[in-house]
Amino acid sequence: MSESNVIWQSQLNKARIAYDSLLTRFSDVLAGSDALKQVLKDFPVKITPYYLDLINKTGKTGPIAKQVLPSVAELEAVSGTSPDPLHETQFMPVPGLLHKYSNRVLVLLTQTCAVHCRFCFRRHALKNNLKTMLPANLEKIADYIRVHKEVSEVILSGGDPLTLASEAIDHTLRLFSGIPHIRTFRIHTKIPAVLPERITKDLIEILSRYKTMWIVTHFNHPYELTSQVIEVCAAMINHGLPLLNQTVLLKNVNDNVDTLRDLFLGLIQLRIKPYYLHLLDAVAGASHFGVEEMKAVNLLKMLNKNLPGYAVPVLVKEIPGRSGKTPIF
């Protein structure tokens, strides 16, 4: 195992934070209670040492901390929310495979993330923190794709697929790459934002050798665009891996025009295309992050006046039962 692999795997192993340790670290902003214990039971806290350091630099009540620190508001029962807000289970012909769109499939390669975003729409599936899918499922998924020749793109998601060992990622890509009608791959990952040490030379070499590969990152705030992030994103792009970014619009985190402008300008300076700005999905436990649709539209109108068109993402929301994301603006 190389030294770079030791670093990122050590960070990943240290990411889960127990209740007592959490209170010790954040005693000035978190009060211990039975309610908070229940929150952690429902959805454990995971924060990488790298992201903890970023919290220390940007404030324990700042926009980075708000994304990953638990709140008793997560226990509030809000009408219209659901553990499965996108009704994904009805689009799963094989365990771990979502075939929601006719020409592409999404493979939930793992249920492990480097951090637990408190607004995650799959938070109820992730709480068990399973490390990988069964190899048998992967073969069944490949068999399904071979039969469905209308599928031309495989999207690797989870959890976060880049939490897997490089060998496992290589095996998965090799398996799907051998299917003649697969033309492109996409990987959805938050790793560059929360564990940039994971973007090693060997990983980049693996990702760049398979067909057309797109990496979709997840940056929500300009504070996340650190010097380490700049370095690893440049390394991926310079090896022929184009980067897109999806941002979730979050109350008291990035729901103002200055923050979004700085984020999107920062991304295009890194050669990352702002792709989607998501309205929050109606997942149980995350309603306190919601931003009203009209406010979101007004933010996009202001951004259009101040940014070049290629720096402004499409504002979208997911509506269960529809075959794609619904553009709002």
What amino acid occupies position 34? Answer: D
pLDDT at 132 over 80: no
Sequence-separated (6 or more) residues with CB below 8 Å from residue 305: none
- Residue 40 tokens, joined: 């952690």
pLDDT value of residue 1: 42
E strand or H helix at 203: helix 201-208
Domains detected in the chain: 3-75 (no CATH), 88-327 (3.20.20.70)
143's CB contacts (< 8 A; 6+ apart) are none
Is the pLDDT score of 124 beyond 80?
no
Paired strand residues for 283: 82
Tens digits of per-residue pLDDT, 11-64?
A: 999 999 999 999 999 999 999 999 999 999 999 999 999 999 999 999 999 999
Residues 262 and 283: their CA atoms lie apart, in Å, by 28
CA distance 211 to 15: 33
Question: pLDDT (tens digit, 9 = 90+) per residue, 52-99?
Answer: 999 999 999 999 999 999 999 999 989 888 887 777 778 889 989 999
> Two tokens at 268?
């295009």
User: Residues 231-242: pLDDT tens digits?
Assistant: 999 999 999 999
The 8-class DSSP code of residue 118 comes to T
Please provide the average confidence, as pLDDT, over all residues in the chain. Answer: 93
CA distances from 287 to 101, 120, 251, 262, 299 (A): 27, 11, 10, 25, 20
Q: Which of 191, 260, 261, 262 is nearest to 229 (CA)?
A: 191
H helices of the chain, in order, are 3-13, 19-25, 34-42, 49-58, 63-68, 123-126, 135-147, 166-177, 191-194, 201-208, 227-238, 257-269, 293-306
Residues 235, 286: Cα–Cα separation, whole Å: 34
Instruction: State what percent of residues in the chain have pLDDT above 70.
Output: 95
Compute φ and ψ for 214, nearest 5 degrees: -115, 135
Residues forming a β-bridge with 153: 104, 184
Q: Which residue do the tokens 């690797």 mark?
A: 156
Residues forming beta bridges with residue 45, ordered by sequence position? 17
Query: What would the mean pLDDT of 307-313 be, rounded to a whole number?
Result: 97
Instruction: Supply 108's token pair.
Output: 């939930």
* Contact predicate 72/123, CB 8 Å: no
* Contact assessment for residue 315 and residue 297, using Cβ atoms and an 8 Å cutoff: yes
Assign residue 59 a region (left: φ > 0; alpha: ψ between -120 and 50; beta: otherwise).
left
Q: Say what the pLDDT of residue 134 is.
A: 58
Q: What is the pLDDT of residue 131?
A: 45
Q: Per-residue confidence at 151, pLDDT binned at 50, 70, 90? A: very high
